[in-house]
Chain A
Amino acid sequence: MGLLDRLAPRKSDPDGSIQSSSGLADDPVFATKALRKFLSCLTSRESPALLDLGPVVGSNVSFFGEQLGCKIFVEDIFADLDRHVREGKSDAFPAFLGKRFPQEPGSVDGILCWDLIDYLDRPSAQALATQLMRVLRPDGALLAFFGAAQARLTTYTKFIVADETNLRHRAYPAARGHQAILPNRDIIRLFPELRVSDSFLLQNNLREILFRKTT
């Protein structure tokens, strides 16, 4: 029985959000189509290694660690970006990213990129993509979200896994907002060593793209 089967589906609002019935009622809940596919990529491996580029979320650690048996690397790139922006060192961020990840090449089974790339300038996005392609193992999966042009956020979002098909979105302050909103072709060009496995445009205009590394 999957996680989805243990949790009753909830009715979506017109904007795609769902009212949470838990104590986290302030966080809107949005459906996700790609997470379940990402999870199935992970669970095909024993003790998969997961790289999470977002801020640490305790319930996500429990979800991926306890329920799925992942070894989780928490590398909060949003915090690094914030620090560089506050210190006026944004120009140094691409070089920083080039040395940021201690993981061995091909050592990671899955990467949760969330919507990080939306907040990066082009050189930083390319530097990040190069490193993610390096650490991802062949046939490994990368899940990334991309916003739509009309929703240029000035906050970051913590994506909290509610279940296999729903994510809570919790906004928190950002030193700078969205940069470029990339069209799909530019996103694909960022990751020449990956192929798009699945792509979804959600009701809330979030694009979910699941990449797999070519073998």
Chain B
Amino acid sequence: MNIGKSVVIKGELNGSEDLTIEGYVEGTIQLKEHVLTIGPNGRIKAQVYAKSVIVLGEVTGNVTATDKVDIRDNGSVDGDIVSPRVAIAEGAHFRGAVDMQRKGGATTPAAKTDGKSASTPAAAPAAQAAGTPQRVGA
């Protein structure tokens, strides 16, 4: 599943499949047992919970992964990371704390945002287009 460059989502994003984000997401992202990829054009301002998170774009917010967080070259994370494995490439940007203890996990966040809720298979109805037609799946 892809969220394209022109898509803006504000709210809670839940899913049960791997997801690639090239657009803008603000709020909370939860992908239990699945991989979240923030593409080179992706911009995230959210609390992120997933099995694995691969960052090629920009993330502002805390990232919790039960398996691995991988910040690739030119990827950027401003926020705290909780994950048993963390890889940060040369050329990546990171500012925050890293906790690799196994006490963390992709748990349900304690506080919900006040935005709309959207699960990935039906993300389009909750997505708010940013001036251009929204498109989920590319």
Q: Do A and B bind each other?
A: yes
Which residue numbers of A lie inside 8 Å of B, CB to CB? 47, 56-58, 61-62, 65-66, 69, 71-76
Tell me, in angstroms, the Cα distance from A76 to B71 when the chains sit together. Answer: 17
Q: Is the CB of A65 within 8 A of B94?
A: no
Tell me, in angstroms, the Cα distance from A69 to B88 when the chains sit together. Answer: 17
Q: Which residue of B lies closest to A49 (CB)?
A: B97
| Interface residue range, chain B | 10 to 19
Tell me, in angstroms, the Cα distance from A47 to B97 when the chains sit together. Answer: 13
Which residue numbers of B lie inside 8 Å of A, CB to CB? 71, 84-90, 92-101
Q: Which residue of A lies closest to B98 (CB)?
A: A72
Shortest beta-carbon distance from A171 to chain B in Å = 13
Pick the 8 closest A-B CB pairs, nearest first: A58-B88, A65-B100, A56-B94, A72-B98, A71-B99, A73-B97, A65-B98, A61-B98
Q: Is the CB of A76 within 8 A of B97?
A: no
Residues of A near B99 (CB, < 8 A) are 65, 71-72
Given the interface pairs A58-B89, A61-B86, the reply to whether A74 lies near B94 with Cβ below 8 Å is yes
Tell me, in angstroms, the Cα distance from A47 to B99 when the chains sit together. Answer: 9
Q: List 4 additional A-B contacts (Cβ < 8 Å) besides A57-B88, A65-B100.
A: A61-B98, A66-B85, A71-B97, A73-B96
Q: Would you call the interface of chain A mostly helix, strand, loop, or mixed?
A: mixed
CB contact between A71 and one of B89, B93, B98 (< 8 Å): that residue:
B98
Shortest beta-carbon distance from B100 to chain A in Å = 4
Q: How many A-B residue pairs have CB under 8 A?
A: 44
Q: Would you call the interface of chain B mostly helix, strand, loop, or mixed?
A: strand
Q: Is the CB of B95 within 8 A of A76?
A: yes
Residues of A near B71 (CB, < 8 A) are 58
Q: Is the CB of B92 within 8 A of A71?
A: no
Q: Is the CB of B97 within 8 A of A72?
A: yes
Shortest beta-carbon distance from B130 to chain A in Å = 29
Residues of A near B100 (CB, < 8 A) are 65-66, 69
Q: Is the CB of B86 within 8 A of A62?
A: yes
Residues of B near A72 (CB, < 8 A) are 97-99
Residues of B near A56 (CB, < 8 A) are 88, 92-95
Given the interface pairs A56-B93, A58-B89, A65-B86, the reply to whether A74 lies near B101 with Cβ below 8 Å is no
Q: Is the CB of A71 within 8 A of B90?
A: no
Residues of B near A58 (CB, < 8 A) are 71, 86-90, 92
25 A-B residue pairs with Cβ-Cβ distance under 8 Å, sorted by A, are: A56-B92, A56-B94, A57-B88, A58-B71, A58-B88, A58-B89, A58-B90, A58-B92, A61-B88, A61-B98, A62-B87, A65-B86, A65-B99, A65-B100, A66-B84, A66-B100, A71-B97, A71-B98, A71-B101, A72-B97, A73-B96, A73-B97, A74-B95, A74-B96, A76-B95
Of the listed residues A56, A71, A75, A76, the one surrounded by the most CB atoms of chain B closer than 10 A to its CB is A56
Tell me, in angstroms, the Cα distance from A103 to B71 when the chains sit together. Answer: 24
Residues of B near A66 (CB, < 8 A) are 84-85, 100
Shortest beta-carbon distance from B62 to chain A in Å = 13
Tell me, in angstroms, the Cα distance from A47 to B86 when the chains sit together. Answer: 17
Given the interface pairs A56-B92, A58-B92, the reply to whether A74 lies near B87 with Cβ below 8 Å is no
